[in-house]
Structure 1
């Protein structure tokens, strides 16, 4: 659970960055690159998709078997 809390803190860090230090979020590493805030926002979206995919795979494999086993025990 601690690792999940650490990941969700990244979203709040981005929000705080944009709210309190918008100049930092607007900075660019090079003249033609994307602003730091855009890169962080895309990274958070990608991380959300990856975590969802991991959870769905885990739920489909482990939790479905555990649910079926529990229902068999309750039916007895």
Structure 2
């Protein structure tokens, strides 16, 4: 693409909407993931006995399912982002490109 095309894309209101929505969504998900990880680290730091408590009569402690849940939540939130990126964000991108190519 040429510099003129880039300038048209950057001035396009739909492109600005796309960038704004994508940034807000990505920062929101990042904040959730950061909050989960910080919460887990704080739990390790201030309540280690809780994580070392056995679940019922088994040899598994609460730390294992909480740690696995933390990792799975990161995968889940990544999936949420991918679904939205492949849907709404791709539609906005296509609309911007169609407008610029006219």
Q: Relative to structure 1, is the Cα distance of residues 3 and 72 closer, same or farther in structure 2, using a 3 angstrom cutoff?
A: closer
Q: C-alpha displacement at 1:38, in angstroms?
A: 1.2
> Alpha carbon RMSD of aligned pairs, Å?
2.2
Q: In the alignment, does 2:69 pair up with 1:43?
A: yes
TM-score calculated relative to the size of structure 2? 0.61
Instruction: Return the TM-score normalized by structure 1.
Output: 0.77
Runs of 4 or more consecutive aligned structure 1 residues displaced over 3 Å after TM superposition = 1-8
Larger Rg: 2
Could you tell me which runs of 5 or more consecutive residues in structure 2 were left unpaired when the two chains were aligned: 1-26
**Per-residue deviation at 1:55?**
1.2
Contact 1:18–1:25 under 8 Å retained in 2: yes
The residue that corresponds to 2:84 in the other structure is 58
The CA deviation at 1:26 is: 0.9
Higher relative contact order (CA 8 A, sep 6+): 2
Unaligned runs of 5+ in 1: none
